[in-house]
Amino acid sequence: MVYVKMFGDWEIFVDGKKIEKFTSKKALKILFYLLLTDASRVSIKELADVFWDGFDEKYIRKNLNVQLYYVRKDLGIDEKHLRSEREYVYIDKKIFQSDYQGFINSSKDDLNKISTDKIKEICNSELLKGLDDKWIYNFRKITSKICEKIQKLSETRRGLNQNALRAKFLLEQQLLTRERYFLPLVIKTSDCVSLKKLKVRKGDIIVETQHEKIILLERGTKSEKEVIEGFVNRIDLKMDEIEIPEDTCLLKKLEDLINN
């Protein structure tokens, strides 16, 4: 197994052993390029445009095969794992792992699943540090955009947690005092108007999740019925389109939301 560390100071390991010397820097860059692409094959024309712009085809193909040989020799891999054939270069990515591909795969799956430590490590590191080829900047832009998405998600999470923590505290106080200062409601997202159009009062609290909106309506001096019916009328919903949970049930839901 070949592991390639691409963020920060790049390193390559074969079966856990670090490779200290490489025969050709160009061969190394070609390997990086092949691993940074999503595909298991890259056209020779694409590689020619990146690494041999202006050279004739005969020279390009000959030099490409030499560089691929250097990669195979340095990594100790068979030709079946890395080869040129007709108009393409084929790479068997099953024998390669990299922090870059792990990051990209996680971002495609679910950004929420990427650990905070991994986010800090990657987003504060430069992809292939020390290499300044033009093509590298395109891949750096990709990681930069993902990091921007993660940052926005993190800010959303913080806002969500703040509201959830406040709602949790208020429900806990209600259970202790047995006084209903806030009335909890749950509205499924598919039934509800957008958060921007949701007409709530200053003292109300909204916790928005992917599938529902949890709302604590400040009761004030009105009866529970007046507060709930007034809210439902403001957002143009029917009573059977909202859920009125028990405080204990909603408290458990908020705890799960905060902890996950």
Q: What is the CATH number of the domain that holds 175?
A: 3.30.70
Residue among 87, 94, 86, 48 nearest 67 (CA):
48
pLDDT of 192: 53
Is the model more confident about 108 or about 212? 212
What's the rounded Cα separation, in Å, for the pair 39 and 240? Answer: 50
Taking residues 160-165, what's their average pLDDT? 80
My answer on whether 166 and 102 are in the same domain is: no
Distances (CA, A) of 19 to 66, 162, 187: 19, 47, 57
Is the model more confident about 108 or about 137? 137
The count of other CB atoms within 10 Å of the CB of residue 251 is 19
Residue among 99, 113, 104, 209 nearest 147 (CA):
104
Which helix (H) or strand (E) element contains residue 175? helix 134-177
My answer on whether 168 and 242 are in the same domain is: yes
> Is the residue at 137 inside a domain?
no
Q: Which of 113, 131, 149 is the last residue of a domain?
A: 131
Q: Is the confidence at residue 195, as pLDDT, over 70?
A: no
CATH number, domain containing residue 79: 1.10.10.10
Residue among 122, 105, 107, 98 nearest 32 (CA):
98
Contacts of 75 (CB under 8 A, 6+ apart): 2, 12, 14, 19
> Is the residue at 155 inside a domain?
no
My answer on whether 181 and 113 are in the same domain is: no
> Is the residue at 142 inside a domain?
no
- Structural tokens at position 242: 């909202």
Residue among 122, 88, 129, 82 nearest 102 (CA):
122
Q: Is the confidence at residue 160, as pLDDT, over 80?
A: no
The pTM assigned to this predicted structure is 0.64
My answer on whether 123 and 197 are in the same domain is: no
Q: Is the confidence at residue 56, as pLDDT, over 70?
A: yes
What's the rounded Cα separation, in Å, for the pair 232 and 249? Answer: 21
What domain range is 76 assigned to?
Answer: 2-131
> Is the residue at 71 inside a domain?
yes
